[in-house]
Every structure is written in C-alpha cells, then in structure tokens.
Amino acid sequence: MGEGGVPRGRCHGFSNVSPLTFQNEELRNLSLSGHVGFDSLPDQLVNKSTSQGFCFNILCVGETGIGKSTLMDTLFNTKFESDPATHNEPGVRLKARSYELQESNVRLKLTIVDTVGFGDQINKDDSYKPIVEYIDAQFEAYLQEELKIKRSLFNYHDTRIHACLYFIAPTGHSLKSLDLVTMKKLDSKVNIIPIIAKADTIAKNELHKFKSKIMSELVSNGVQIYQFPTDEETVAEINATMSVHLPFAVVGSTEEVKIGNKMAKARQYPWGVVQVENENHCDFVKLREMLIRVNMEDLREQTHTRHYELYRRCKLEEMGFKDTDPDSKPFSLQETYEAKRNEFLGELQKKEEEMRQMFVMRVKEKEAELKEAEKEFVKVQKFLYMLFLFE
Ligand code: GTP
Ligand code: MG
C-alpha cells in the first residue's frame, strides 16, 4: 500500500479532486496503451539525490584509547584527523569533524563525532549528559530550520546523528554500569549499534559467551538497540542473519601486511596476524556491510522518522501545540496560537493586577507612616510650646 492507504500501481480516473475525495474514492485500474514515462520516476530520484549528495553522521561513544579513530579510518579506507585524548579531561566533551568523501559519482558529507574523555572521570554520573545534549542540539537546529518562514532544508547541512557506534571494552565479563546508563539514555534519540572493540584481545570461546552476556544484559535493562530492517525483501535475509552476530566484535587497523601474495589490513603479533577483513578473525566486514553498504539509508530514515519525530513532538507539545482539542476535534496552528496568546495575555493581566494591588498597598502604608510622623510632629510642637510658656 502507498501513502494514505492508496494501493500502489493504481491510477485514479479524475484529476480535479480534493485529497479527501481521493482517499475515499474507489480507484479504477487502467491499462496504458503506450509509453507515458512515469516509470522513470525512480531514476529521476536517483539523479536528484546523486547531484545533491548525501549526509551521514556517526557518533563514536567509547573510552579514551578504545580504538574509535582507528576503526573510523579502517571503515572509510582513509586517514581522518584525530588527536589522541589525554586521560585527564575534567569532563566528557564532544568533538565533531566533517569531511567530503567521494566514491564513484556519489558525494558524501561525513561527520564523525567523538566523545573525548569518556570514562576518564572518577565520578561518571554525568558522563552521558554532554552526549544527550549534543544529540538534542542537532535535533533543535533542524527543528528551528523547519519552523523558519524562509526554510532552506534543501541545502541544509544536516548534523543529526544517524548512527551511534557504542564501543564496548573487551573485558570478557559484562557491560559496565556506565555503558548501560549511557545506552539507556541514548536509545530513544539515536540508532545504537553496539560493538566490541579490540576484539583481537579476547579468546574465541570467551567472545561467544561475552556476546550473549551483553545481549541479555541489554534486553534485561530494556536498552533498545538499532534493529536491522527485515521488512524489505532485498535486505531481509542479510539483515536477519547479521543480527545474530550482534554486538559485532571488531578489529581496526590501517596497516597493510603481506598475506600470501596479497596485502591486507591487519594487526601483527609475535604469534600471528589478525586480518581485519577476514570473517574468521573478526566481524569488521559485517559491521561495514550493515552500517554502510546495506543500511545507511535506513539509518538516515530512522533518524528522521523515529528519533527526530519523537524530539519534535515532545518539543512542540512542551511549547503548547496540539493536534486535537479536549473533544478530539482537530486543533489548527492558528487556534493553538490564539489559545497561547490568550493564556499569555491572561497571565499578563494577572501580573498587572498584582502589581497594581501591591502599589496601592505600599501607598497606603506610606500614607499611614506619614500620618504617624505628622502626629509625632504635632506632639513635639505642643511640647515645645508648653516649654516656651513656662519660661
Ligand atoms: P582517543 O581518541 O584518544 O580516545 O582514542 P581512540 O579511541 O580514538 O583510539 P585509537 O584509535 O587512537 O587507538 C588507541 C590505540 O589502540 C592505538 O595504539 C591503536 O593502534 C590501538 N588499537 C586500535 N584498534 C585496535 C584493535 O582493534 N586492536 C588492538 N589490539 N589495538 C587497537
Ligand atoms: Mg581518537
């Protein structure tokens, strides 16, 4: 079914009808006797999107030195700027850097946001706050653009976070409370993809148990991670099979090592070589497949239709906007504005009245004080007069 319950692939017989009539009208199936050309719509969409370019924003949440920058470099086959963080940051701060990338004729404006100093403070109670604030600030910027009279969403640099890679330390034990608290605070705002960092430091049998432990902890704490979509035929199978491997255990490296007669990205150890793109060694390829090659568009869409929509709704409700009145009748923007205006004027009047009352009271008080002073003055005058008489 298409939008508004209209079956796809059907053609309406009348052109001059209101949207309401269009929805309720019985649709007639007509066959075309010649080529019209609207079958080129998908191509038109592709061309338009290609010429506009795309935005994709990744947030890397993880402790200092856990391998965030290395993984980003490995994923995009390039060297992004990054300066290693010190372990003595007073708090968590977010650092965003944007890049223009091109593959074939597709331009991608990529923003990588790093959590600097995450996990380094003795008191980690507020570590999630700067991350939540950053995500909300990007939603707010988009909402402000949307609410402008002269909007330019067409060439707006969208900075909303599309994917949050949550780097889990390869402890082999369980999630830290910091991980659970942070993920719980973020899960309604962003698509979380949990990954086990530096997975070359954990043994194979331990890794399996570690993965199940993490997943069961996420479920028991009600943390919603990003679900790979399975509703579209073309990706349903791959997404369903990949979900089983979550959280992906990844290894990052941009170093090329000679393996056989080929060069491959790997990490070299005294006892052997870990190949980043070898699926028997780690899940790096699975992560790249899921994040970039299969679900990038879904991540962008989910950000807009789910997370941003929730932010927008809460924000507008907070501002007093609503779709229906108490009798469930549609409430227009104009009516909401009028209601808010009246409410504001009422409050203003109340304040004015309070101030007026206060003023009258103060005047009365002052009057009483003056009368009292006058009485005192008369008394003193009488006293002086008496003194004068006796002298
Ligand atoms: P900050 O930005 O300073 O917080 O660090 P980061 O999280 O960006 O980590 P970075 O990528 O700078 O890596 C820190 C160290 O970990 C470097 O010495 C990397 O070579 C190493 N490293 C990165 N990825 C891996 C990995 O998958 N396995 C192992 N064993 N080491 C890794
Ligand atoms: Mg880094």
The alpha carbon of 62 and the centre of ligand 2 are apart by a number of angstroms equal to 10
Q: Looking at residue 327, what is its pLDDT?
A: 72
Q: From 268, 257, 135, select the one nearest 189 (Cα to Cα).
A: 135
Please tell me if the CB atom of residue 67 comes closer than 6 angstroms to any atom of ligand 1: yes
Q: Looking at residue 23, what is its pLDDT?
A: 57
Tell me: do 295 and 344 sit in the same domain. Answer: no
Please tell me if the CB atom of residue 201 comes closer than 6 angstroms to any atom of ligand 1: yes
In contact, 181 and 167? CB cutoff 8 Å? no
Please tell me if the CB atom of residue 65 comes closer than 6 angstroms to any atom of ligand 1: yes
The alpha carbon of 183 and the centre of ligand 1 are apart by a number of angstroms equal to 21
The first and second tokens of residue 304, run together, are 């807009």
Asked, for residue 169, whether it belongs to a domain, the answer is yes
Among residues 285, 319, 353, which one ends one of the domains?
Answer: 319
Asked, for residue 25, whether it belongs to a domain, the answer is no
Tell me: do 77 and 168 sit in the same domain. Answer: yes
Q: Looking at residue 390, what is its pLDDT?
A: 76
Q: Which domain holds residue 182?
A: 48-319
Please tell me if the CB atom of residue 70 comes closer than 6 angstroms to any atom of ligand 1: yes
Q: Looking at residue 383, what is its pLDDT?
A: 87
- 86 vs 91, 92, 110, 278, 322, CA distance in Å? 12, 12, 25, 32, 47
Asked, for residue 16, whether it belongs to a domain, the answer is no
- Kindly identify the ligand whose nearest atom is closest to the C-alpha of 117: 1
Nearest CA to ligand 1 atom 21: 67
Q: Looking at residue 330, what is its pLDDT?
A: 67
- 133 vs 107, 140, 188, CA distance in Å? 29, 10, 13
Tell me: do 378 and 231 sit in the same domain. Answer: no
Alpha helices in the chain (DSSP H): 19-24, 41-52, 68-76, 129-147, 177-186, 204-220, 233-243, 284-288, 296-302, 309-318, 333-390
Indicate the burial class of 285 (C-beta count within 10 angstroms; 0-12, 13-18, 19 or more).
middle
Q: What is the pLDDT along the chain (391 residues), one digit of tens a residue?
A: 444 443 444 444 344 444 455 556 688 889 998 999 999 999 999 998 898 899 999 999 999 999 999 999 999 999 898 888 888 888 889 999 999 999 998 999 999 999 999 988 888 888 999 999 999 999 999 999 988 888 888 788 899 999 999 999 999 888 999 999 999 999 999 999 999 999 999 998 899 999 999 999 999 999 999 999 888 888 888 988 888 898 999 999 999 988 888 888 999 999 889 999 998 999 999 999 999 999 999 999 999 999 999 999 999 888 877 777 777 776 677 777 787 788 889 999 999 999 999 999 999 999 999 999 999 999 998 988 888 887 7
Please tell me if the CB atom of residue 37 comes closer than 6 angstroms to any atom of ligand 1: no
Tell me: do 304 and 171 sit in the same domain. Answer: yes
Tell me: do 240 and 362 sit in the same domain. Answer: no
Q: Looking at residue 329, what is its pLDDT?
A: 72
In contact, 389 and 382? CB cutoff 8 Å? no
Tell me: do 313 and 344 sit in the same domain. Answer: no
Asked, for residue 214, whether it belongs to a domain, the answer is yes
- 230 vs 40, 59, 90, 234, 243, CA distance in Å? 27, 24, 43, 9, 10
Number of domains the chain is built from: 2
Instruction: Quote the CA–CA distance of 389 and 22 in Å, as a whole number.
Output: 107
Please give the single-letter amino acid code of residue 365.
E
Instruction: Quote the CA–CA distance of 111 and 358 in Å, as a whole number.
Output: 56
Q: Looking at residue 210, what is its pLDDT?
A: 94
The alpha carbon of 45 and the centre of ligand 1 are apart by a number of angstroms equal to 40
Tell me: do 344 and 310 sit in the same domain. Answer: no
Nearest CA to ligand 1 atom 5: 65
Tell me: do 137 and 206 sit in the same domain. Answer: yes
The alpha carbon of 245 and the centre of ligand 1 are apart by a number of angstroms equal to 22
Q: Looking at residue 22, what is its pLDDT?
A: 54
Tell me: do 102 and 146 sit in the same domain. Answer: yes
**What is the number of the ligand 1 atom nearest to the C-alpha of 201?**
30
Asked, for residue 32, whether it belongs to a domain, the answer is no
Instruction: Quote the CA–CA distance of 70 and 256 in Å, as a whole number.
Output: 13
Residue 310's CATH number: 3.40.50.300
Q: Looking at residue 243, what is its pLDDT?
A: 86
Tell me: do 282 and 348 sit in the same domain. Answer: no
In contact, 159 and 96? CB cutoff 8 Å? yes
Q: Order of strands across the sheet with 192-196?
A: 93-103, 106-116, 54-61, 163-168, 192-196, 248-249
Asked, for residue 39, whether it belongs to a domain, the answer is no
Among residues 319, 354, 378, which one ends one of the domains?
Answer: 319
Asked, for residue 262, whether it belongs to a domain, the answer is yes
Please tell me if the CB atom of residue 92 comes closer than 6 angstroms to any atom of ligand 1: no
Tell me: do 307 and 383 sit in the same domain. Answer: no
The alpha carbon of 253 and the centre of ligand 2 are apart by a number of angstroms equal to 13
Nearest CA to ligand 1 atom 31: 198
Q: Give the residue, out of 59, 70, 271, with the most ligand 1 atoms within 8 A of its beta carbon, to mutate for a pocket test.
A: 70
Instruction: Quote the CA–CA distance of 22 and 145 in Å, as a whole number.
Output: 32
Asked, for residue 42, whether it belongs to a domain, the answer is no
Tell me: do 139 and 78 sit in the same domain. Answer: yes
The alpha carbon of 253 and the centre of ligand 1 are apart by a number of angstroms equal to 9
Q: Looking at residue 131, what is its pLDDT?
A: 96
